[in-house]
Amino acid sequence: KAMCSGKLQTALLVAGYFVYLLVGAAVFQALERTAEKQEKRAAAQMKEAFLQNFTQLTVAEMEQFMASLIEAIQNGVYPVGNESQFEESNWDFSNSFFFAGTVVSTIGYGTLHPKTAGGQIFCVFFALFGIPLNIVFLHRVGKMLSLLCKKLGTFLYEKGMRKKKIKFLTLLFFLATGILVFLCLPSVFFQITEGWSYSEGIYFAFITLSTIGFGDYVVGKQSDRKYFSYYRVLVAIWILFGLAWIALLFNL
């Protein structure tokens, strides 16, 4: 009975956690997408005006253009290519879900952030409740994985192995498995999808799962590459379970 109750609580927690992320992603998308379109339109007009008059610009006008260009890039607007690229939103559902995941996990790359007053206020409350929920989620998933450790330990103990050796082998097994599943294999995936070197993929995976999140490497941000739908959603899920693996290591 207790086991069934524990499984039900875990299932409800996981479901509630992902519903929280989905709702957050939908709200961020609704609040930020219109403002982003206006920014992209302004950036396109700025670029067009520059191309028409660049031979006649004064030094002050050139510096103003550079300042406006830097501000646009900092806001996630890259005025390159034709106008069709301006139709691609940083706040589509996949990107919004990815952003929601980086908020509650406290990674915070800094390459995507809310710019409207409504989005910023919502982000405060979303993080206020989402970060504790994320801690509870990681703790529960870590405990579930710990049960697997115990089962492995019991199996080895029944085979006549000593407890100290069992502890060492269990830790080594989950450490090696986690490094393979959450660092080595995803780095190959990032190498293919993003065009990074394998070492850059390893670097990104470690910086992400350690929640350092410099923001120098971020998935799905290269304008010259085509990404499949919900690519960043899958990366967000990888991040969440990768953090759970790290929580397991702390438990061990």
Average pLDDT over every residue of 111-132: 94
Q: 83 falls in which pLDDT band (50, 70, 90)? A: low
Residue 36 lies inside a defined structural domain of this protein = yes
Count of domains in the chain? Answer: 2
Tell me which residue range forms the domain holding 47.
Answer: 1-76
Q: 124 falls in which pLDDT band (50, 70, 90)? A: very high
Residue where one domain finishes, among candidates 16, 41, 76: 76
> Are 169 and 230 members of one domain?
yes
Q: What is the CATH number of the domain that holds 122?
A: 1.10.287.70
Q: 82 falls in which pLDDT band (50, 70, 90)? A: low
- Per-residue pLDDT reduced to its tens digit, 165-199: 888 888 888 889 999 999 999 999 999 999 999 99
> Are 123 and 11 members of one domain?
no
User: Which pLDDT score is estimated for 252?
Assistant: 72
pTM of the model: 0.84
Q: 99 vs 56, which has greater pLDDT?
A: 99
Of 189, 193, 186, the residue nearest 224 (C-alpha): 193
**Distances from the Cα of 13 to the Cαs of 2, 140, 141, in angstroms?**
16, 8, 10
User: Which pLDDT score is estimated for 86?
Assistant: 55
User: Which pLDDT score is estimated for 85?
Assistant: 55
User: Which pLDDT score is estimated for 87?
Assistant: 61
Give me 204's structure tokens: 């990104």
Residue 86 lies inside a defined structural domain of this protein = no
Average pLDDT of the chain is 86
Residue 122 lies inside a defined structural domain of this protein = yes
**Cα 3 from Cα 94, distance rounded (Å):** 35
Tokens 């009975």 — which residue?
A: 1
Residue where one domain finishes, among candidates 27, 46, 76: 76
